[in-house]
């Protein structure tokens, strides 16, 4: 009996302890500007509407059970949120600060081994992409390093980048394979992505990119490599349920439209929707083939003209631009202005990878989009939140401040306006990160 009583006492004490330490919700009050709020959530924003951002000044935001529960003007805040003496609710005072939905980064290659700063130096000295590749650089260089790295080591290296992008305001990320280029190493990459999904607070989508480059041993028989991708890799990836999407680098010197079609058809048989690399190096037909197979997104698009813009009109495929990549490689900028003016939606992503964009900083991506692509700050905000959420199949749950959406947000330092975020391109202005309703830092 005595044993039972003390057992119940311990349980009671634990309950009291838990109650004192577990808040029922998180209230952020006195917010100078609550940015990207939606009463009626949309899946994406197109054309002229991209220059509009709904926001509430002098606002509150209440997060509960990992979701956005309530928001509005401070003057209308229900008295149940009055926190004086209310120990159930944790409170943050955001006077002078802005609250944004976390960035959604819909195109990255952040699982890779080592780095390629030697190629960076070679490029500065004037070597072309082809010359660098001949010296053993490029995608095949990353593939060699990755094949020599254990799964655990690859996970540890990648988690450093994952934690870095979390601190930079990203709340959801798509990560591609494509530096394995053989069955075992592609599976290794995808298993690392799966571990990131399971262990980090980020929302993660995985994309199989076996057709990123033709490995040297298949140089004289590219058809055979495409066959390996189709008949060995795709079935094995599906069997382990390691991928949400499938990608092909459909471009000059990489994979042709015909090869891309074969791979996308094979992917569709296993339920893998396409998100493809298109029109980076040439007018490759990548945009058109992506649309033909109902790709969720076509990405890069540095070489896009009227035909590509026409082809994208009225379609569900999201044109996704990667201004970090054109900035770093010196390639022409994609025609963002023409696309938006033609009524298209545009998403922005970082392309975080060791060769063409060694940065996952989405705030910098916004600045580059404003400065180099001539996108308005409002257009850039839509492109890094709701439209990039769409480009990874997440816009029902992420990408805006709307009731019931996942509570992924960041609070800025004290700043004068929301435009200040892309304007102050080199400043770290993000102060507090909240993912799935939990304060991360």
Chain residues that interact with Fe ion, rule: CB under 5 A: 351
Tell me: does residue 411 bind ligand NIG (CB under 6 A). Answer: no
Our CB check for Fe ion shows the closer of 196 and 409 to be 196
Our CB check for Fe ion shows the closer of 308 and 351 to be 351
Our CB check for Fe ion shows the closer of 105 and 378 to be 105
Chain-centre distance for alpha carbon 110: 10
Tell me: does residue 302 bind ligand NIG (CB under 6 A). Answer: no
CA-nearest of 123, 119, 166, 167 to 145 is: 119
Tell me: does residue 60 bind ligand NIG (CB under 6 A). Answer: no
Tell me: does residue 267 bind ligand NIG (CB under 6 A). Answer: no
Our CB check for Fe ion shows the closer of 174 and 351 to be 351
Q: Which residues pair with 73 in a beta bridge?
A: 59
Residue 100 interacting partner from Fe ion, ligand NIG, none (CB closer than 5 to 8 Å by kind): none
Q: What angle do CA 59, 65, 68 make, to 5 degrees?
A: 30
Q: In the bound complex, what is the minimum distance in angstroms from residue 348's beta carbon to Fe ion?
A: 13
- Integer Cα distance of 73 and 29 in angstroms: 9
Q: In the bound complex, what is the minimum distance in angstroms from residue 254's beta carbon to ligand NIG?
A: 7
Q: In the bound complex, what is the minimum distance in angstroms from residue 300's beta carbon to Fe ion?
A: 7
Residue labelled with tokens 């010196």: 330
Question: What is the per-residue binding string for ligand NIG in 202-241, x denoting contact by CB under 6 A?
Answer: ----------------------------------------
Rule CB under 6 A: choose which of 36, 67, 108, 142 binds ligand NIG: 142
Tell me: does residue 280 bind ligand NIG (CB under 6 A). Answer: yes
Q: In what helix (H) or strand (E) does residue 170 lie, and over which residues does it extend?
A: strand 170-176
Q: In the bound complex, what is the minimum distance in angstroms from residue 353's beta carbon to ligand NIG?
A: 5
**Residues between 317 and 376 that touch ligand NIG (CB under 6 A):** 325, 351, 353-356
- Kindly state the DSSP code that residue 49 receives in the 8-state scheme: G
- Integer Cα distance of 178 and 162 in angstroms: 18
Contact 418, 381 (CB under 8 A): yes
Contact 320, 247 (CB under 8 A): no
Our CB check for Fe ion shows the closer of 109 and 363 to be 109
Provide the Cα torsion 322, 317, 410, 108; round to 10°: -40
CA-nearest of 404, 413, 416, 381 to 104 is: 381
Q: In the bound complex, what is the minimum distance in angstroms from residue 136's beta carbon to ligand NIG?
A: 13
Q: In the bound complex, what is the minimum distance in angstroms from residue 418's beta carbon to ligand NIG?
A: 29
Our CB check for ligand NIG shows the closer of 68 and 321 to be 321
Tell me: does residue 138 bind ligand NIG (CB under 6 A). Answer: yes
Tell me: does residue 249 bind ligand NIG (CB under 6 A). Answer: yes
Residue 280 interacting partner from ligand NIG, Fe ion, none (CB closer than 5 to 8 Å by kind): ligand NIG
Structure tokens at 357: 């964009």
- Integer Cα distance of 238 and 321 in angstroms: 28
Rule CB under 6 A: choose which of 277, 303, 398, 405 binds ligand NIG: 277
Structure tokens at 89: 């609710």
By beta carbon distance, the residue nearest ligand NIG is 355
Our CB check for ligand NIG shows the closer of 388 and 408 to be 388
- Integer Cα distance of 255 and 209 in angstroms: 12
Contact 219, 213 (CB under 8 A): no
| Count of beta carbons in the 10 Å neighbourhood of residue 117 | 10
Our CB check for ligand NIG shows the closer of 32 and 277 to be 277
Contact 213, 176 (CB under 8 A): no
Q: In the bound complex, what is the minimum distance in angstroms from residue 299's beta carbon to Fe ion?
A: 7
Q: Where are the alpha helices (DSSP H) in 233-361?
A: 234-239, 257-269, 286-292, 306-312, 323-329, 336-341
Structure tokens at 96: 């002078």
Stretch that binds ligand NIG, among 137-145, 238-246, 290-298, 423-431 (CB under 6 A): 137-145
Our CB check for ligand NIG shows the closer of 139 and 266 to be 139
Q: Could you tell me the end-to-end alpha-carbon distance of the chain, in angstroms, rounded to an integer?
A: 46
Stretch that binds ligand NIG, among 2-10, 135-143, 330-338, 423-431 (CB under 6 A): 135-143
- Integer Cα distance of 428 and 137 in angstroms: 32
**Residues between 105 and 134 that touch ligand NIG (CB under 6 A):** none
Question: What is the per-residue binding string for ligand NIG in 175-194, x denoting contact by CB under 6 A?
Answer: --------------------
Residues lying near ligand NIG in the complex (CB under 6 A): 138-139, 142, 249, 277, 280, 325, 351, 353-356
């Amino acid at each position: 009996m005595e044993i039972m009583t003390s057992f119940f006492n311990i349980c009671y004490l634990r309950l009291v302890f838990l109650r004192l330490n577990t808040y029922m919700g998180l209230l952020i009050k006195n917010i100078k500007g609550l940015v990207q709020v939606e009463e009626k959530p949309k899946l994406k924003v197109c054309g002229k509407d991209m220059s509009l951002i709904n926001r509430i000044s002098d606002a509150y935001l209440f997060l509960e059970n990992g979701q956005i529960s309530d928001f509005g003007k401070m003057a209308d805040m229900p008295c149940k949120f009055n926190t004086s003496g209310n120990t159930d609710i944790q409170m943050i005072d955001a006077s002078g600060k802005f609250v944004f939905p976390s960035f959604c980064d819909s195109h990255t290659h952040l699982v890779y081994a080592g780095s390629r700063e030697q190629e960076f130096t070679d490029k500065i000295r004037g070597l072309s992409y082809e010359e660098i590749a001949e010296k053993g650089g490029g995608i095949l260089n990353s593939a060699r390093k990755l094949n020599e790295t254990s799964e655990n080591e690859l996970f540890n290296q990648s988690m450093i980048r994952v934690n870095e992008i979390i601190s930079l305001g990203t709340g959801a990320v798509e990560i591609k394979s494509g530096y394995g280029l053989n069955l075992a190493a592609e599976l290794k990459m995808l298993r690392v992505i799966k571990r990131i999904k399971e262990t980090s607070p980020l929302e993660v989508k995985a994309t199989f990119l076996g057709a990123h480059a033709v490995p040297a041993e298949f140089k004289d028989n590219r058809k055979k490599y495409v066959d390996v991708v189709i008949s060995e890799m795709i079935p094995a990836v599906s069997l382990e349920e390691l991928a949400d999407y499938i990608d092909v680098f459909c471009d000059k010197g990489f994979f042709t439209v015909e090869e891309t079609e074969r791979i996308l058809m094979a992917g569709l048989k296993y339920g893998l929707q396409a998100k493809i690399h298109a029109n980076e190096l040439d007018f490759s037909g990548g945009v058109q083939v992506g649309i033909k197979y109902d790709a969720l997104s076509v990405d890069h698009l540095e070489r896009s003209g009227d035909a590509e813009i026409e082809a994208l009109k009225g379609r569900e495929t999201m044109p996704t631009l990667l201004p970090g990549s054109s900035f770093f490689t010196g390639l022409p900028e994609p025609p963002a202005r023409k696309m938006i003016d033609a009524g298209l939606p545009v998403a922005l992503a970082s392309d975080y990878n060791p060769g063409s964009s060694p940065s996952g900083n989405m705030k910098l991506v916004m600045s580059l989009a404003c400065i180099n692509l001539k996108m308005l700050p409002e257009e850039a905000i839509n492109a890094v939140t709701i439209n990039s959420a769409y480009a990874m199949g997440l816009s029902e749950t992420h990408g805006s401040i709307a009731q019931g959406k996942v509570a992924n947000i960041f609070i800025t330092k004290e700043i004068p306006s929301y435009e200040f975020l892309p304007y102050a391109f080199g400043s770290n202005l993000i102060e507090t990160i909240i993912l799935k309703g939990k304060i991360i830092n």
